[in-house]
C-alpha cells in the first residue's frame, strides 16, 4: 500500500484500543489518513492524540442499524471515499453451549459478523469503482478451530471468515483485496476480560489465568497488538494476497 501511494484514507473500526489502536498507529506512522470509529468517544479522542498524522474520529456503535452508512458518509463528506478498511471492532463472550442465551448469541453475531458485513457492503462499491482498495477483517483463531465455552463467538468468527473468502472471490481482479488476520490471545483489554471470566469461573488467580492463556501460544506468551498490526500492513501492501486468513498465534494453529 505505501509503495503505491501514501496518504490513503484508512477506516479502522474498534480503533480506540487493542488491535485497532495498534493498526491505526501503524498506518498513521506510514503516512496515511486514519479514521477511528468506536463507541467510546473519550477513548477515541485519547487514541487520536497518539497518532502522528491526520485523524478523524467517528464515535458510533457499529452494530446499530445505519451505522455503516453514517460512518462512511461522514468519511466521504470530510475526506473522500475510504480506500482501506480494517474491521477490528469485536468482543468475545464465554458460556457453555447449553447456557448460551439468544441474547448472547445475537449480540456476538451482530458485532463479529453482521457489523463487518455491513461495513464491507458500504465500503466496497467506491473501492471497486476506483480500481483499488484493501479490506482486512480481524477474525481470530476461533475462525478456524472450535473451543469450549465460546460457541457464539466461534460461530461468528467462522462466519466472518466465510464472508472474507466470498468477497475476495467476487472482487478478484478488480484491484480490491479482502483478507483476514486470525490472532490467538493478544495482550489487549479483550484478553483482560477473558482473564476476569476465568477467575470468576474457576477461582484461579489473575496471574494463573493469564499464564494459562499465554501457554496456549507455542511461543509461551501473549501476542502483542503491534505484531498483529504488522500482518495487517502486509495484507494491505500485497495485491497477490487475497482471500487469505493469516494466523498470528505463535504456531498453535498451522494452516
Residue 153 falls in the annotated catalytic set = yes
Residue of 153, 163, 190, 247 marked active site: 153
**C-alpha to C-alpha distance for 142 and 151, rounded to whole angstroms:** 9
- Backbone conformation region of residue 100, classed left if phi is above 0, alpha if psi is from -120 to 50, else beta: beta
> Cβ contacts of residue 162 below 8 Å, gap of 6+?
none
Rounded to 10°, the helix 206-215/189-202 angle is: 120
Q: Whose CA is closest to 182, among 253, 120, 111?
A: 253
DSSP letter, residue 98: G
Active site residues: 153
Amino acid at each position: 500500500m505505501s509503495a503505491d501511494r501514501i496518504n490513503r484514507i484508512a477506516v479502522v473500526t474498534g480503533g480506540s484500543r487493542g488491535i485497532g489502536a495498534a493498526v491505526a498507529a501503524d498506518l498513521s506512522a506510514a503516512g496515511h489518513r486514519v479514521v477511528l470509529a468506536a463507541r467510546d468517544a473519550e477513548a477515541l479522542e485519547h487514541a487520536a492524540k497518539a497518532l502522528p498524522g491526520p485523524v478523524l474520529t467517528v464515535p458510533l456503535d457499529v452494530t446499530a442499524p445505519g451505522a455503516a452508512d453514517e460512518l462512511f458518509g461522514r468519511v466521504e463528506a470530510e475526506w473522500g471515499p475510504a480506500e482501506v478498511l480494517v474491521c477490528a471492532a469485536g468482543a468475545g463472550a464465554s458460556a457453555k453451549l447449553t447456557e448460551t442465551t439468544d441474547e448472547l448469541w445475537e449480540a456476538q453475531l451482530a458485532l463479529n459478523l453482521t457489523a463487518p458485513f455491513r461495513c464491507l457492503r458500504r465500503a466496497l462499491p467506491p473501492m471497486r469503482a476506483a480500481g483499488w482498495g484493501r479490506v482486512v477483517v480481524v477474525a481470530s483463531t476461533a475462525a478456524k478451530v472450535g473451543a469450549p465455552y465460546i460457541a457464539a463467538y466461534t460461530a461468528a468468527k467462522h462466519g466472518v471468515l466465510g464472508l472474507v473468502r466470498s468477497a475476495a472471490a467476487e472482487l478478484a481482479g478488480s484491484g480490491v483485496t479482502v483478507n483476514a488476520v486470525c490472532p490467538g490471545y493478544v495482550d489487549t483489554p479483550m484478553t483482560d476480560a477473558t482473564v476476569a471470566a476465568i477467575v470468576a469461573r474457576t477461582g484461579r488467580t489473575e496471574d494463573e489465568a493469564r499464564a494459562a492463556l499465554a501457554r496456549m501460544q507455542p511461543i509461551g506468551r501473549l501476542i502483542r497488538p503491534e505484531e498483529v498490526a504488522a500482518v495487517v500492513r502486509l495484507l494491505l501492501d500485497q495485491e497477490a494476497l487475497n482471500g487469505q486468513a493469516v494466523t498470528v498465534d505463535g504456531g498453535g494453529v498451522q494452516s
